[in-house]
A and B are shown apart, each in its own frame.
Chain A
């Protein structure tokens, strides 16, 4: 149960501030900044770009995704279900001789088995991805930032969360500026109030 609620509720840092958001002007700058943040030993941080910047996961030092295993497992499950169902129906549940074929006509069962394996693999890949990414998460403190709207357009951002052991609002902001950030912003944890308190710009 806690696993499910964990999936549904985003893991967010406690406290008043979510963390710092820094904006960069190009993928290359974001790339170098990520290397810098990685080398500085930060662990709870993220980069945001309107498209997957090639190689950025290496600059961030991310581990390879384990999604393929989820997909493979479900694909095997789908395939076993397919062959199992057809075999069971044709030999035990309601055996019928049709066009002189044996009850267990495995060649004729391959197509459906294959299709169900693909379905399992695809469901595993998509919903596994959503689960690993904790999506849907319809609200997130980052959306408090006005500038962050450009993350899906042409903005390149780096966010460091306040529960990172290395986090210090001033020193971290300095590091980000040193790494070439155009703008550094402190992000509040609470949802943005009506017009006045929109994303406190640091």
Chain B
């Protein structure tokens, strides 16, 4: 029987020695006592370092909320609020003056606005990938980062939702986007991908919020049980009276599994639908069938870059080095390498099929993309998204926080440029050469773009202050001492001639 450790890491039961009876070696492999079981070939080290007890995890997660805020936090919050103010001013001026304050021109009717929209929706996707898809793939390392990544998803969706709202120019009729008839009895145009977007992104936001909140409930109860007075009441109300009941956990785990099962196709559908804003058109460079999976891969790519950027800062600021370990960064770097190559595959295929199609328009658009007036943007994109991430092949790069941080910023930049390249290069030289125009962003294009980061980081600062930033209950469940009944694996015996008595007889 294998060992189980008590809550303070002490052995409460000892391992009987593995018996040696003649030729028959009978050992049991328990999760708790056999390091080889977790890591038979040196590539699966413990997820959480320093063998913390359950209580240590609670402390590590709850302490940042219970300490008075640090000066660094205030500095971050104020800087973010300043940027948020900039966003407010930019949007206010936009509403006052109209869309003319942006650098849009006749062929380029979409530029920074929709670039920002797609960029932010994409950022959100890593959160859902971590919370849902990696959950379905039983990737337990996700537990250390899923809470923060899901929060990132929510805030990114908030940033994204600003842009379709403001780019129509007449915000007072924004309700035309809702599925209700207007004063003329007319309904929204359900055949339009822009309408699908409204549904996809708002439902994505809602489901992500539900997922996030469900994950939070046990941790809110943890904070409730550690605090007094008003704080206890507030956290108690949000914890809904959670009492860690196993009968509750049973439905809870099922709900979590269902949410993961639903969020997985949801996240694929959301960026697929975003891609259809472009791909359902007949515009060369926009209309190509690989867009849905290509956009999804790009979204996950950019989202992971943002997770890495944030986690490098967060683990340092809150001393979570033993929970968010270098192993986590290693995995995230590998996912970036994979998804970066997927977008590289799509870039290449787009060019090949543009040529293969034999369509003069397709060929022109792609030549123009790579060698036209926006070649600088195109090659920025390719360098940041395809060339630079190749550095992640090297273990040294994957295990250096400096490299990871720098490369993650490059990927964020590159993925922003990807959307810019797709949107602007296809528009700026349309079918009528007399209307060709070069898009230049105006000051307000830039302030709105930067201001959105203000919203994102303001929300993130508030999040790290008021909400448990690591899913404590989930991290506890992947600690080795969490296993209640270690499994025994049968030992595979060497073939011994004539020892048929070793064959397990009774079992079917």
Mark A residues whose CB is within 8 Å of B: 25-31, 34, 46-57, 59-60, 62, 65, 67-68, 71, 75, 85-86, 89-90, 93-94, 96, 98-99, 101, 105, 108-109, 111-112, 114-116, 118-119, 121-123, 125-126, 128-130, 132-133, 135-140, 142-143, 148-157
B181-209 interface code vs A (CB 8 A; 1 in, 0 out):
10001110111110110011001001100
Instruction: From known contacts A26-B4, A53-B482, A55-B484, infer whether A105 and B191 are also in contact, taking CB-CB under 8 Å.
Output: yes
**Interface residue? B70 (CB, 8 A):** no
CB-defined contacts of B211 to chain A, threshold 8 Å? 122
Is the C-beta of B262 less than 8 angstroms from some C-beta in chain A? yes
Contact partners of B476 in chain A: CB under 8 A: 50-51, 154
- Give the residue of B12, B226, B269 whose beta carbon is less than 8 angstroms from that of A115: B269
In the assembly, what is the distance between CA of A179 and CA of B441, in Å? 72
B199 contacts A51, C-beta separation under 8 Å: no
Known: A26-B12, A111-B273, A154-B7. A54 touches B185 (CB 8 A): no
Q: Are A94 and B185 interface neighbours, CB within 8 A?
A: yes
A111 x B196 contact (CB < 8 A) = yes
Size of the B side of the interface (Cβ < 8 Å), in residues, is 74
Tell me if B's interface is mostly helix, strand, loop or mixed: helix
B11 to chain A, nearest CB (A): 10
26 A-B pairs with C-beta separation under 8 A: A26-B481, A27-B484, A28-B13, A48-B246, A49-B244, A49-B246, A49-B249, A52-B253, A53-B484, A54-B484, A59-B485, A60-B246, A65-B254, A75-B262, A94-B186, A109-B191, A114-B269, A122-B211, A126-B210, A128-B251, A136-B237, A136-B241, A137-B241, A149-B225, A153-B226, A154-B54
- Does B53 lie at the interface of the complex (its beta carbon under 8 Å from any beta carbon of A)? yes
Please state if A50 and B269 are interface contacts (CB–CB under 8 Å).
Answer: no
Secondary structure type dominating chain A contacts: helix
Residue contact A140 to B222, C-beta cutoff 8 Å: no
Least distance between A7 CB and chain B CB atoms (Å): 13
Give the docked Cα–Cα distance between A148 and B241 (Å).
Answer: 13
A108 contacts which chain B residues (CB < 8 A)? 190-191
- CB contact under 8 A between A154 and B241, given known A28-B4, A31-B484, A67-B258: no
Is B247 interfacial (CB-CB < 8 Å)? Answer: yes
Closest 9 CB pairs of A and B: A28-B4, A154-B54, A31-B484, A129-B255, A136-B240, A47-B246, A51-B477, A52-B249, A125-B258
Cα distance A157–B247 when bound, in Å? 13
| Contact between chains at B206 and A50 (CB < 8 Å) | no
CA A101 to CA B190, docked complex, whole Å: 12
Bound Cα distance from A151 to B476, whole angstroms = 13
Q: How far is the CA of A68 from the CA of B253 in the complex (A)?
A: 11
Contact with A138, one of B196, B240, B254 (Cβ below 8 angstroms)? B240
> Taking A93-B181, A98-B189 as contacts, is the C-beta distance between A28 and B250 under 8 angstroms?
no
Residues of B participating in the A interface, judged by any CB pair closer than 8 Å = 4-7, 12-13, 53-55, 58, 179, 181, 185-187, 189-193, 195-196, 199-200, 203, 206-207, 210-211, 213-214, 218, 221-222, 224-226, 236-237, 240-255, 258-259, 262-263, 265-266, 269, 273, 276, 472-474, 476-477, 481-485
| B483, A126: Cβ atoms closer than 8 Å | no
Q: A118 to B262, Cβ gap below 8 A?
A: yes
Q: Contact: A27 with B240, CB < 8 Å?
A: no
A30, A56, A89: the one contacting B190 at CB < 8 Å is A89
Q: Taking the nearest CB of chain B, how far is it from the CB of A140, in angstroms?
A: 6
Query: A89 and B246 in contact (CB under 8 A), knowing A26-B4, A118-B265?
Result: no
Q: Compute how far the CA of A89 lies from the CA of B192 in the bound complex, rounded to whole angstroms.
A: 14
Which of B4, B203, B255, B485 contacts A116, CB < 8 Å?
B203
Beta-carbon contact of B485 and A55 below 8 Å: yes
Query: In the assembled complex, how far is the CB of residue A21 from the closest CB belonging to chain B, in whole angstroms?
Result: 11
Partner of B241, one of A28, A48, A51, A140: A140
Beta-carbon contact of B190 and A86 below 8 Å: yes
- Chain A residues contacting B266 (CB-CB under 8 Å) are 115, 118
In the bound assembly, the distance between CA atoms of A161 and B210 in angstroms comes to 32
**Closest partner residue, chain A, to B188 (CB atom):** A89
Report Cα–Cα, A53/B246, bound state, in Å.
8
Alpha-carbon distance A56/B253, docked complex (angstroms): 12
- Cα A43 to Cα B12 in complex, Å, equals 29
- On whether the beta carbons of A28 and B255 are closer than 8 Å, the reply is no
Q: Which residues of A contact B236 (CB under 8 A)?
A: 138
| CB pair A119 B5 closer than 8 Å | no
Closest to A119 in B: B203
On whether A151 and B243 interact (CB within 8 A), knowing A115-B200, A122-B259, A129-B214, the answer reads yes
Judging by beta carbons under 8 Å apart, are A111 and B181 in contact? no
Query: A71 contacts B196, CB within 8 Å?
Result: no
Do the beta carbons of B225 and A46 come within 8 Å of each other?
A: no
User: In the complex, A91→B255 CA distance in Å?
Assistant: 37
